[in-house]
Amino acid sequence: MTDRDLPVPGLSLAVRYPDGSEISIARGVSDLVTASPLTTADYFRIGSISKTITAATVLQMVEDGLIGLDDPVSDYLGDWLPGYVIDGVDYGNRVTVREILGHTDGFKEFAWDLGFFDAASRRLDRAFDPREIIDWGLKQGPQFVPGEGYNYNTVGLVAAGLLIEAVAGRPAEQEIRARIFEPLGLDHIFLPPGEVPPVPIVHGYAVGVLRDILDALPALEPLKAKATVGDYFDVMAVPQQALDSVGWTGGGMESQAGDLAVLFASLFDGTLLSDASITAMTTPNDFAPYGLSLDIGEWKGRVYLNKGGGVPGFRSLVGYLPDSGVSVALLANAIPLAPDLDVLMNEVLTLVAPR
DSSP per position, 171-211? -HHHHHIIIIIHHHT--SEE-TTTS--SSPPPP-EE-HHHH
Any domain includes 7: no
| Dist CA 14 CA 23 (whole Å) | 6
Other Cβ atoms closer than 10 A to 92: 18
Q: What is the pLDDT of residue 2?
A: 83
Measure CA of the first residue to CA of the last residue in the chain; give whole Å.
27
Half-sphere exposure of 200 (CA within 13 A, CB side): 8
Q: What is the pLDDT of residue 284?
A: 97
Of the pLDDT bands very low, low, confident and very high (cuts 50, 70, 90), residue 22 is very high
Any domain includes 2: no
Kindly tell me if the per-residue pLDDT of 4 is higher than 90. no
Any domain includes 200: yes
> What would the pLDDT profile of 105-155 be if each residue is shown by its tens digit?
999 999 999 999 999 999 999 999 999 999 999 999 999 999 999 999 999
Any domain includes 135: yes
Any domain includes 27: no
Any domain includes 30: no
Could you give the number of structural domains in the chain?
1
Check: CB of residue 274 under 8 Å from CB of residue 289.
Answer: no
Q: What is the pLDDT of residue 106?
A: 98
Any domain includes 345: no
Of the pLDDT bands very low, low, confident and very high (cuts 50, 70, 90), residue 43 is very high
Any domain includes 176: yes
Of the pLDDT bands very low, low, confident and very high (cuts 50, 70, 90), residue 64 is very high
Nearest CA to 329 among 13, 50, 9?
Answer: 13
Q: What is the pLDDT of residue 334?
A: 98
Q: What is the pLDDT of residue 14?
A: 98
> What would the pLDDT profile of 308-340 be if each residue is shown by its tens digit?
999 999 999 999 999 999 999 999 999 999 899
> What would the pLDDT profile of 204-243 be if each residue is shown by its tens digit?
999 999 999 999 999 999 999 999 999 999 999 999 999 9
Structural domain harbouring 255: 43-296
Check: CB of residue 180 under 8 Å from CB of residue 9.
Answer: no
Which residue has better confidence, 166 or 4? Answer: 166
Q: What is the pLDDT of residue 3?
A: 78
The fraction of the chain above a pLDDT of 90, given in percent, is 97
Instruction: Supply the CATH number for residue 172's domain.
Output: 3.40.710.10
Of the pLDDT bands very low, low, confident and very high (cuts 50, 70, 90), residue 1 is confident
